[in-house]
Amino acid sequence: MGNGVWKDTWLITGRNIKTTLRNPFSVIPNLIISAFFLLVYEAGLSGIADLPTFNGANYLAFILPVSIVSAAIGGAGGAGQGIVKDIENGFFSRLLLTPASRLAIVLGPIIAGMLQLLVQTILIICVGFLLGLKVETGFLGILFVLLIAIGWGLAFAGYSAGVALRTKNAQASQSGTLIFFPLIFLSTTFVPYELLDAQWLKIAATINPTTYIFESMRSVLIDGWVFWEMMQGVIAIVVVCTITITFAAVSAKKAVSRG
Amino acid sequence: MNGKIEVEHLSKTFKKGDVRAVKDVSFQVEEGEFFAFLGPNGAGKSTTVQILTTLINATGGKALVAGHDVIKEPEEVRRYIGVALQETGVDPDLTGRELLELQASIFGFDKSGAKERAEQLLGIVQLTKDGNRRVGNYSGGMRRRLDLALTLVNEPKILFLDEPTTGLDPSNRMAIWKELRRLNEENGTTIFLTTQYLEEADSLAHRISIINAGEIVATGTPKELKAQIGNDLITMTFKSNEDLTRAEHKLVEKMGENEVIQQNGRLTVYVEDGAKQLLEVVRVLDEENIQVESVNLTSPTLDDIFLKITSEQKEEE
């Protein structure tokens, strides 16, 4: 009797996907907001792309990463919400009482969150294409953008799962997503770094890992294959994932341990 | 692996507030036995269940469930037990059938095996025709029954049930009792049940431990427990509260403090030989000119035992 970690993870992830599909309204608002961002920023701000600093870049390609990242952070919050819901309705305990791998119990919702994010990002990119998006590096570039989006989503799924497991409280894990605002907006959100006006904002953008995510996505969308531009995003993801996944793992250990 | 529960000097102190929820509890449940933990809210019943089912660690003592140490070999223990906690553990977004299939798959059934097992269990708890409905639309009683079915997926050797009928209407309660009896009698499943309901323990269990404030205060068969407090009870009500107080005072003087209990305006006296001592009691009251409203001579129920033991404890504290 009993399965390995992978079979358990597969089973529990499958169940989380089912739950998400049956609650479309946990996904749709986030998706609409991200598409809305894309639409209004493009419509309202695309004129600034005529500035020389933009070097003739397409503003749509410039702003697309903002929409993708905001969807990623919002969507990743779903992993935490799912865990809190399970804790509240007792299903989490029911899983703990089975021989299922403890790792699988925590990984399931995180992986399901990732897949949800992947679908969201693809939809947003489709909206981008409908609005006339052109990608310098073509299909492979899109794959890179998806990879970065998933990586960044994983970082946030880890964070939201960690908060959920620690607080076991829906409100707390909801307010945990407040971190969304400084991360999205204290960055090179609307204009390139050179055009940021306030010194404090420049400092914030330099510290903010999201800046490197934006820049790496923009590099493949606008400039073509520039290795170091791409790597800064990858490095930011590795660093942040290391921190948040450790946080999730420690919180999970506490939640499933029997102290 | 066996169907026994062996508990020695088990203790649990919660760090938060330094609460000693379970204090040096020892007991043994034999294979195939139906055992009940009877006690009021906050007595330590749920904490004990959580320790024995590997959800939390004890802070002291030792427990073997199905022959495996709950602290050192939790994975082994989980294979052989079925657990229904006080709060049901069902996901409202899945259907009853899906939940049962998932549970079976986690316990290692293959796809068709899981389907078969789910179908079988839906039949057992009479949810076959609701199997494809989402659990969110189930009534409380249906959820309870599904929860019970989930605990049976792995054909557990030992079943833990933490207040399985609390909050249920009589017909759902009867359905659960019937199924528990069947599991115990036909399959030889060891059952550990906690309850606040004396009639539940009395009607289901072979043996009962009464737990209060984290300690086992009495253990025995329902019959033994009833005998332990004397053969008969004399229960009286009075015309006025003043009479009640005076009667209590006099009877305590005469029979001893532990033999007289006052609750809800009734006075109960525990006696060895009811027919003989009834006269004595009446004589005492008559001498004092106390106005009696009613007098009853009865055999004790578990309620009476429970009341007596817990009130003795209060006096000690």
Q: Transcribe A55-79 into DSSP letters.
A: TT--HHHHHHHHHHHHHHHHHHHHH
Three-class secondary structure of residue B272 per DSSP = coil
Domain boundary assignment for chain A: 5-254
What is the C-alpha to C-alpha distance for residues B200 and B215, in angstroms, rounded to an integer? 21
Tokens (6 digits) for A154:
């994983």
- Give B20's strand partners: B13
Helices (H), A131-208: 138-167, 170-175, 180-185, 199-207
* 3.30.70.260, 3.40.720.10, 1.10.287.110, 3.30.720.110: CATH of B230-299: 3.30.70.260
Nearest C-alpha of chain B: how many angstroms from A97? Answer: 6
Distances in Å between the Cα of B99 and the Cα atoms of A216, B95, B113, B151 are 43, 6, 14, 11
Contact yes or no for A258 and B93 at CB 8 A: no
Contact yes or no for A258 and B92 at CB 8 A: no
Side chain identity at B76, as an amino acid letter?
E
What is the C-alpha to C-alpha distance for residues A249 and A138, in angstroms, rounded to an integer? 37
What is the C-alpha to C-alpha distance for residues B202 and A243, in angstroms, rounded to an integer? 55
Task: Tell me B238's DSSP state.
Answer: E
What is the C-alpha to C-alpha distance for residues A176 and A178, in angstroms, rounded to an integer? 5
Name which of A23, A81, A94 to mutate to probe chain B: the one with the most chain B Cβ atoms within 10 A of its Cβ: A94
Residue whose entry in the numeric block shows the structure tokens 């009940």: B36
Which residues of chain A have a CB within 8 Å of the CB of B159?
none
Out of B54, B78, B105, the one facing A11 most closely (by C-beta) is B105
Is B5-90+138-220 CATH 2.60.120.620?
no
pLDDT of residue A17: 92
Out of B83, B90, B108, the one facing A97 most closely (by C-beta) is B83
Q: Where in chain B is the domain with CATH 3.30.70.260?
A: 230-299
- Give B292's strand partners: B238
Residue of B nearest to A254 (CA): B56
Task: Tell me B194's DSSP state.
Answer: E
The pLDDT tens digits along chain B (317 residues) read: 789 999 999 999 988 778 889 999 999 999 999 999 998 888 899 999 999 999 999 999 999 999 999 999 999 999 999 999 988 899 999 999 999 999 999 999 999 999 999 999 999 999 999 999 999 999 989 999 999 999 999 999 999 999 998 888 898 899 899 999 999 999 999 999 999 888 899 899 999 999 988 999 889 998 888 777 666 888 899 888 888 989 888 888 888 777 888 888 888 888 878 888 888 888 888 888 888 889 888 877 767 777 777 777 666 55
Tokens (6 digits) for B278:
């009834």
Nearest C-alpha of chain B: how many angstroms from A257? Answer: 7
Contact yes or no for B89 and A94 at CB 8 A: yes
Residue of A nearest to B76 (CA): A99
ipTM here: 0.85
Tokens (6 digits) for A211:
């800046």
Helices (H), chain B: 45-52, 74-80, 96-106, 111-124, 140-152, 170-186, 198-204, 222-228, 241-255, 274-287, 302-316
Nearest C-alpha of chain B: how many angstroms from A241? Answer: 29
Q: Where in chain B is the domain with CATH 3.40.50.300?
A: 5-90+138-220
Interface residues on A facing B, Cβ-Cβ cutoff 8 A: 1-3, 8, 11-12, 15, 18-19, 22-23, 86, 89-100, 257-259
Nearest CA to B88 among B45, B42, B147, B145? B147
Contact yes or no for A3 and B106 at CB 8 A: yes
Contact yes or no for B91 and A3 at CB 8 A: no
Other C-beta atoms closer than 10 Å to the C-beta of B114 total 21
Helices (H), chain A: 5-22, 28-45, 59-88, 91-96, 102-130, 138-167, 170-175, 180-185, 199-207, 209-218, 227-256
Count of A–B CB contacts within 8 Å? 80
Residue of A nearest to B156 (CA): A98
Which residues have a Cβ under 8 Å from the Cβ of A206 and sit 6 or more positions away?
none
Task: Tell me A89's DSSP state.
Answer: T
Contact yes or no for B93 and A259 at CB 8 A: no
Contact yes or no for A98 and B107 at CB 8 A: yes
